[in-house]
Structures are given as structure tokens and as C-alpha cells.
């Protein structure tokens, strides 16, 4: 599937005056980043889409947070196997670093880090 590429801050990316399109692994990475960065029930067309930010704010254990992240990543139909999910919390800066390694149904692997929260 092709989609419009977004910048790191979520703006549309243009190339030669037109939208830049991505597909394959880059598109799946972008989808997973958006999924992890969207609060659960925030998108009115799919109330199951996104990460339950309340679990992050309620001083959940690392395992509860990890479980919620696995739930979100597992919703992406092109992800076949979730090999690893690592989280590092910085409660002082209110940041959560999520590192994940997944295998897609086409056999390709994605290693990515998404930082949630903070300023």
C-alpha cells in the first residue's frame, strides 16, 4: 500500500512540489509510529485505534505498558511476529522510549524506536 510520507513532526512531506509517497517497510514504520502516538479512542472512525495513554499516566508497571504497546503493534495486519518490545521511562521528563523489533508477513524485519511524550 502507498501512502503520503509525513515528516518527524507529522507534516506532509513534499518533493518537487508534490506529495512524497512511501510504501513497504517505510509505510509500515509510519503506520506503527502513528498508532503508538495516537491516544486510544481519539480517532472517531476506529475507537480501538491507538495507545491507551491513561495507562501511561496512571503509573502503570513496565509490564502493563509493554503489554499495551504489544496490543497496539499487534493490530497492524502486516506484522506477523513481535520479536521484542523494550521500553524506557523517564518519569521526570514524562517521556517513554519504545524500541520494537517485528517481522512482517513478507519476511522483512523492522527495528524502530518511537519516543512518546515530553516537550
SS3 (DSSP) at 14: strand
Longest dimension (CA), the chain: 47
Q: Convert the pLDDT of each residue in 36-63 to its tens digit.
A: 999 999 989 989 999 998 887 777 888 9
pLDDT reported for residue 55: 80
Please state the domain count of the chain.
Answer: 1
Model confidence, pTM: 0.88
Q: Which residues contact 49 (CB under 8 A, 6 or more apart)?
A: 35, 38, 40, 42, 43, 75
Which residue range forms the structural domain that includes residue 37?
Answer: 3-117
Cα separation, 109 vs 102, in Å, equals 6
pLDDT digits (tens, 9 = 90+) for 16-36: 999 999 999 999 999 999 999
CATH number for the domain spanning 102: value is 3.10.450.40
CA distances from 79 to 45, 74, 89, 103 (A): 22, 7, 25, 6
Picking from 95, 87, 113, 85, the residue whose alpha carbon sits closest to that of residue 57 is 95
Amino acid at each position: 500500500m502507498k501512502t503520503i510520507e509525513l515528516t518527524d513532526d507529522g507534516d506532509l512531506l513534499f518533493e518537487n512540489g508534490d506529495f512524497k509517497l512511501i510504501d513497504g517497510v517505510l509505510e509500515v514504520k509510519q503506520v506503527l509510529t502513528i498508532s503508538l502516538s495516537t491516544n486510544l479512542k481519539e480517532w472517531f472512525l476506529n475507537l480501538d485505534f491507538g495507545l491507551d495513554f491513561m495507562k501511561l499516566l496512571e503509573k502503570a508497571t513496565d509490564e502493563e505498558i509493554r503489554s499495551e504497546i504489544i496490543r497496539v503493534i499487534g493490530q497492524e495486519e502486516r506484522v506477523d511476529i513481535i520479536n521484542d518490545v523494550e521500553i524506557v521511562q523517564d518519569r521526570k521528563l514524562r517521556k517513554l522510549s519504545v524500541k520494537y523489533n517485528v517481522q512482517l508477513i513478507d519476511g522483512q524485519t523492522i527495528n524502530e524506536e518511537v519516543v512518546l511524550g515530553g516537550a
